[in-house]
Amino acid sequence: MRKVSALLLVSERRAISGLAGLYASRMLGLFMVLPVLALYADALEGSTPLLVGVALGIYGLTQATLQIPFGLLSDRIGRKRVIAMGLVIFALGSVVAALSDTIIGVIMGRALQGGGAVAAAIMALLADQTREEIRTAAMATIGLSIGVSFAIAMVLGPWLAAWAGLAGVFWFTALLTLVGLLVLWRWVPAAPRRRRHRDVGMDRQQFKSVITRPDLWRLDMSIFALHLVLMAIFVAVPFRLLNAGVAIEYHGLAYLGIMALSFVAMVPLIIVAEKRQRMRLMCLMAIGAIVISLAGLGLPLSPSYWLFVWLFVFFTGFNLLEATLPSMLSKLAPAGAKGTAMGVYSTSQFLGAFLGGTLGGLLAHYGGLNAVFIGCAGLALCWWGAMWRMPSPPPLSSEVVALHETQADALDLLMEHLADVVGVEDVMVVPEERLVYLKVNRQQLDEAALNKLMAPPKS
């Protein structure tokens, strides 16, 4: 729609690289524990499968509770201050967990890690630092960094634990967080201003309309269920690898192979979903793959290579959903409500992680490892049924356009003209932000008419 320079400003490059690194390093620290905690928990006093599950997922509860308050606080006292405070809390939680020789101490440390809930503040600072026309690409970089951090964590966690024990994983996380503080203050530039961004932050006025839309809550339920089953199965998956003859020090290599193959398999499926408008089909296929793989993991494995087959199928479905669900949300969220929709979506994800860890621990405690997989397969099957009636999202994308002074004086007329442009499906004008939020169908959009309408007057 608008001609955008391919070159980022220096401040934008530093903001995007620094904040994406901060976000990824936090997620790396949270995820590295997944493949190793259950294996090393026997050395912790008071350890039971239930408490191991709680330790895995407890960060999700504190993260879900505090991420919106931290975001609002960043509007008041500054983004960097809040991010720094959250990183210090995260580092403190890592130290508490590293020093603990009881499972309760590790649970407390993981809860503190989740208490450093700065995701919303990081996204808001990124929005402050970037122009409207490149903001979507900047946010996509954050999303990519999360996926990469998960893959790295699955490989790095077992290697660190084999070398330095469970405490070493937490010490490494604390060190990484301290490096993040240096990046925040020395590399990420100060924001020129603090503003509300409806494409990033939460808008209380739109909250009710977002959570009551069936298409959006189906996506919230999907990310909830996805992270529930992910966290639950890691109470059991590490033991399955051991039973298959994979020594602890080689678990990282096993995950590396599985994750690499699943990423390769996922790419053509994403292309089909995006380019051929088959998102609903790909979503149902991914959930179905998760159901089948979990059921397969819950059955006696003979020969043992079936373990790797089922894990490959699971992570292909998992990675596909991690990529397509946010894209579907972006297409379905009303103009100007993307930030609010993403806030609800993220909260659902963290709550799913918390309940998944607890559920996995309960199933393992009372039913054994097979019960974890069979129970999760049953839940995933219910999830598949709930998504069956999900409509295919329209091929819409979000646009943010700056208002010029003459347009601000005639908003009602401007909205009428924008609504008449072919391909513009939804419009929200926010005078106090001097921005227009649009939902457009790029296959039908009359770009010439839109550019002419939004062009500043000639002097």
What is the extent of the structural domain holding 19?
Answer: 8-188
Measuring CA to CA, which residue among 97, 123, 112 is closest to residue 37?
Answer: 97
- Per the structure, the count of domains in the chain is 3
CATH number at residue 412: 3.30.70.100
Shared domain for 389 and 401, answered yes or no, is no
Domain check: are 214 and 321 in the same one?
Answer: yes
**According to the model, what pLDDT value does residue 200 have?**
66
Residues 402, 370: one domain? no
**Final residue belonging to a domain, choices 393, 411, 437:** 393
Q: Verify that 150 and 227 share a domain, yes or no.
A: no
- Are 77 and 179 contained in the same domain? yes
Residue 2 lies in a domain: no
Q: CATH number, domain at 119?
A: 1.20.1250.20
DSSP letters spanning 66-103: HHHHHHHHHHHH-HHHHHHHHHHHHHHHHHHHHH--BH
433 and 369 in a common domain: no
Whole-number pLDDT of residue 196 = 62
Do 235 and 53 form a contact (C-beta atoms < 8 A)? yes
For residue 65, what are the CA distances in angstroms to 122, 172, 177, 196? 17, 26, 21, 21
What pLDDT, on a 0 to 100 scale, did the predictor assign at position 2?
A: 45
Residues 382, 407 within the same domain: no
Predicted pLDDT at 77:
87
Q: Is residue 3 part of a domain?
A: no
Last residue of a domain, one of 361, 376, 393: 393
Q: Judge whether 1 lies within some domain.
A: no
Please tell me the predicted confidence (pLDDT) of residue 408: 53
* Within a domain: 311: yes
- Hey, is 427 helix, strand or coil? strand
* φ/ψ bin of 307: left (φ > 0), alpha (ψ from -120 to 50), beta (otherwise): alpha
Which stretches in the chain have pLDDT values below 70?
1-7, 132-133, 191-204, 301-303, 404-410, 432, 456-459
Do 401 and 388 lie in one domain? The reply is no
In a domain, 198, yes or no: no
- Dig out the tokens for 105 from the structure: 């101490």
Residue 368 DSSP SS3: coil
Contact 166, 43 (CB under 8 A): yes
| Amino acid at position 53, single letter | G
What is the predicted pLDDT for the residue at 458? 63
389 and 250 inside one domain: yes
In a domain, 195, yes or no: no
